[in-house]
Amino acid sequence: MGGITQRQRFLGTLLGDDTDRFPFFDLEPDEDTLRRWYQEGFPRQKSVSKHFNLEAHHSVGLMLRSYPFYQKAPGLLYDQSSFKRHYNPDQPSRYARGFVKKCERLHREGRVLYVDASGGGLLQMLGVGDWDSLLSACFALIKKPQVVEDLFKRTTNFYCDCLERVLSKVSIDYASFYEPIASNIAPVISPAMFERFAIPGYKKVIDLLKKYRVPLRILCTTGGDLTSLLPSLIDAGINGLWISNIRSAGMEYPKLRRQFGSGVALIGGIDSTALARDKAAVRKAVEETVPALLESGHYLPCLDDRPRSNVPFAHYRLYRHILEEIARKG
């Protein structure tokens, strides 16, 4: 298949259409990792993505989090007037400057474009940023359910307002949802409570994404066991999973594929901690996960985390070469 674009390869892989191979993709290593790799022979004049021919995902540049960004907003639950301060859809900093022209160019070039569609999940909607605000949110869920429902409705409407301003102007390949709400054992709230408070908002946002023909709605989450919440999320329209730290979370991809079938696309799933051990562990991590998932389809193999500074460059290089061998064999 000649002349295929990165976008066609990405969508073809995850939606189960014909493509030449799966995309070569990983999250970029952090600075500490790069410093180690430079000492171990990685060429300084190249990026990791160029060295290994990795493909990139490009954000449309929409910020849905409460303002100030990445700070707690404790007043949301107890001061209705604070909502407009934290969630103003007209705030220019929520939209990347020149995002329409940038996205049009990337689309012409066949690149993969995504948009954040959740602003950080249920707890972020409740203004959680530390232990005290988590306790306050849990109290409100039990003692002030109507206040919580009203806040979620207002926040969901804000999300849809911002998303409509973007989706009406540019074409998007996937929407990402974040739900950091679980420990390694279970979510901090029950599935019934999550379905009551969170799922109506998911459905409304996903209906908007479907209206604008966004083909993939991917739950991206880190380091927690969300298994008990997945059925309601999938019923609401989530059709892809991108789970980080799968070993600590107990959400290994072969198990998820058996439970939910190939109708739910998967990104990642390769245990990144294996790359910190030895070459045999690297091979095992790939071979026990990737071939079977590729056989069942709708799967993009990559690490379940960005490579950390305890990973030797030789082990990462071996891991990439093993994936290239699998891709060549088809």
Q: What is the pLDDT of residues 5-64, one digit of tens each?
A: 999 999 999 999 989 999 999 999 999 999 999 999 999 998 999 999 999 999 999 999
Please name every residue paired with 270 in a beta bridge, in sequence order, or none if there are none.
303
Question: Contact at 8 Å (CB) between 119 and 86?
Answer: no
End-to-end alpha carbon distance in the chain: 13
- Give the span between the Cα atoms of 166 and 113, in whole angstroms: 12
User: Under a CB-based contact definition with an 8 Å cutoff, are residues 198 and 152 in contact?
Assistant: yes
User: Which helix (H) or strand (E) segment is 257 a member of?
Assistant: helix 253-260
Query: Which of 137, 143, 144, 159 minimizes the C-alpha distance to 73?
Result: 137
Task: Give pLDDT, residue 1.
Answer: 46
Q: How does pLDDT run across 74-129, given as a tens digit for each residue?
A: 788 888 888 999 999 999 999 999 999 999 999 999 999 999 999 889 988 998 88
Say how far apart CA 304 and CA 242 lie, in whole Å: 8
Report CA 267 to chain centroid distance, whole Å. Answer: 9
Please report the pLDDT score of residue 129 as a whole number: 82
Q: Is the pLDDT of residue 295 over 60?
A: yes
pLDDT, tens digit, 9 for 90 and up, residues 204-248: 999 999 999 999 999 998 768 899 999 999 999 999 999 998 877
The residues that bridge with 113 in the sheet, in sequence order, are 58
Instruction: Quickly list H helices, 218-252.
Output: 230-236, 246-249
pLDDT tier at 2 (50, 70, 90 boundaries)?
Answer: low
pLDDT digit string, tens, across residues 127-185: 888 888 889 999 999 999 999 999 999 999 999 999 999 999 999 999 999 998 888 88
Cα–Cα–Cα angle for 301, 275, 178, nearest 5°?
50
Q: Are 196 and 202 in contact (CB under 8 A)?
A: no
Measured in whole angstroms, the distance separating CA 147 from the mean position of its chain's CA atoms is 29
Q: Give the closest residue to 274 by CA, choosing from 244, 304, 252, 241.
A: 304
Angle, CA of 87, 211 and 4, to the nearest 5° = 105
Residues 6+ positions from 128 with CB-CB distance below 8 Å = 72, 134, 137
